[in-house]
């Protein structure tokens, strides 16, 4: 994990996850500093989405600890984690297509602790995503892909997250919309939200993040400051279609 930087808001410690008898994560450890964008990159099937699902509580780890704002939340339910100001924007958006944009957003404030502030919070979301306000009475299923992703992110922000988990926010979007979504991620951080981002769009993820972890076959194989990962020979060769000379990233620390 980073040797220097902002105080940690979140840590995974030697996380292991299995689907039945099949283990899919081995000793995954990572740290996210308050106010940072940290990305987890790697190929399909590496375990990135599984990691986020374990963090939010959808999957139960077989080993390891999940620490959020100084508290061990490993045994908490997903509902309890959301109530502690952690939110997941899942891969594929997973909106309710037959509900309006505004109703989808309000579902993000479903926990009682957030309902009294929902009206104010939705105005903050509309301020960040003006197109959602224009389409607030439109059915979510009729939105474009980029607008649906904005709606999914906005729904996550309605839970007043201190940590927002973003799973492949640019997946399936045209390049111009990818740029727009990543601009929104940077804007979210300006509002005081820390972001843990999972992405296959590796160059863009590293450009907007502070620190990155490379995951392959359920292991963290490399980590480092994002600008160093962009120059790392393994990342260049495996994911960016080239190679450069220069200092590499930190090797991943062994579990244990």
Q: Edge to edge, what strands does the sheet with 8-19 contain?
A: 22-33, 8-19, 63-68, 71-72
245 pLDDT exceeds 80?
no
Instruction: Write the pLDDT tens digit of every residue in 43-53.
Output: 989 999 999 99
Instruction: Write the pLDDT tens digit of every residue in 97-116.
Output: 999 999 999 999 987 878 88
**Across 16-33, average pLDDT:** 96
Residue 145 in any domain: the answer is: no
Instruction: Write the pLDDT tens digit of every residue in 127-161.
Output: 999 999 999 999 999 999 889 999 999 999 999 99
Q: Edge to edge, what strands does the sheet with 250-251 contain?
A: 86-89, 163-167, 194-199, 37-41, 211-216, 219-225, 250-251
Q: Which domain holds residue 13?
A: 1-85+200-256
Residue 121 in any domain: the answer is: no
Confidence at 252, pLDDT banded by 50, 70, 90:
low
The reported pTM is 0.88
Domain with 14 in it: what CATH number? 3.40.50.300
168 pLDDT exceeds 60?
yes
Give the total number of structural domains in the chain: 1
- Which residues have a Cβ under 8 Å from the Cβ of 18 and sit 6 or more positions away? 24, 62
User: What pLDDT sits at residue 5?
Assistant: 62
User: What pLDDT sits at residue 112?
Assistant: 80
Residue 73 in any domain: the answer is: yes
219 pLDDT exceeds 90?
yes
Of residues 254 and 11, the one with the higher pLDDT is 11
- Find the angle CA(78)-CA(37)-CA(3) to the nearest 5 degrees: 105
Residue 176 in any domain: the answer is: no
Residue 35 in any domain: the answer is: yes
Instruction: Write the pLDDT tens digit of every residue in 72-101.
Output: 999 999 999 999 999 999 987 789 999 999
Residue 20 in any domain: the answer is: yes
* 3-class secondary structure, 156: helix
Residue 7 in any domain: the answer is: yes
DSSP codes of every residue in 174-195: -HHHHHHHHHHHHHHHHTT-EE
Residue 195 in any domain: the answer is: no
Among candidates 142, 56, 43, 160, which has minimal Cα distance to 101? 142
Torsion of CA 176, 47, 92, 40, to 10 degrees: -40
């Amino acid at each position: 994990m980073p040797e220097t930087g902002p105080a940690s808001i979140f840590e995974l410690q030697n996380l292991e996850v299995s689907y039945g008898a099949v283990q899919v994560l081995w000793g995954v450890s990572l740290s996210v500093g308050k106010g940072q964008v940290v990305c987890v990159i790697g190929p399909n099937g590496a375990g990135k989405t599984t990691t986020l699902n374990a963090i939010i509580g959808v999957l139960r780890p077989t080993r390891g600890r999940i620490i959020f704002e100084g508290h061990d939340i490993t045994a908490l339910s997903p509902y309890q984690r959301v109530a502690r100001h952690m939110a997941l924007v899942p891969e594929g958006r997973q909106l309710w297509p037959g509900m309006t944009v505004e109703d989808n957003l309000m579902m993000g404030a479903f926990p009682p602790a957030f309902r009294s502030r929902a009206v104010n919070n939705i105005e903050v979301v509309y301020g960040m995503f003006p197109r959602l306000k224009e389409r607030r009475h439109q059915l979510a299923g009729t939105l474009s892909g980029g607008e649906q992703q904005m709606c999914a992110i906005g729904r996550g922000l309605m839970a007043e997250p201190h940590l927002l988990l973003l799973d492949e926010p640019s997946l399936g979007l045209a390049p111009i919309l990818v740029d727009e979504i990543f601009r929104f991620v940077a804007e979210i951080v300006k509002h005081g939200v820390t972001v843990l981002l999972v992405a296959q769009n590796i160059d863009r993820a590293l450009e907007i993040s502070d620190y990155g972890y490379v995951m392959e076959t359920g292991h963290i194989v490399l980590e480092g400051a994002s600008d160093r990962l962009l120059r790392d020979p393994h990342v260049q060769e495996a994911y960016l279609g080239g190679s450069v000379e220069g200092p590499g990233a930190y090797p991943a620390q062994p579990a244990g």
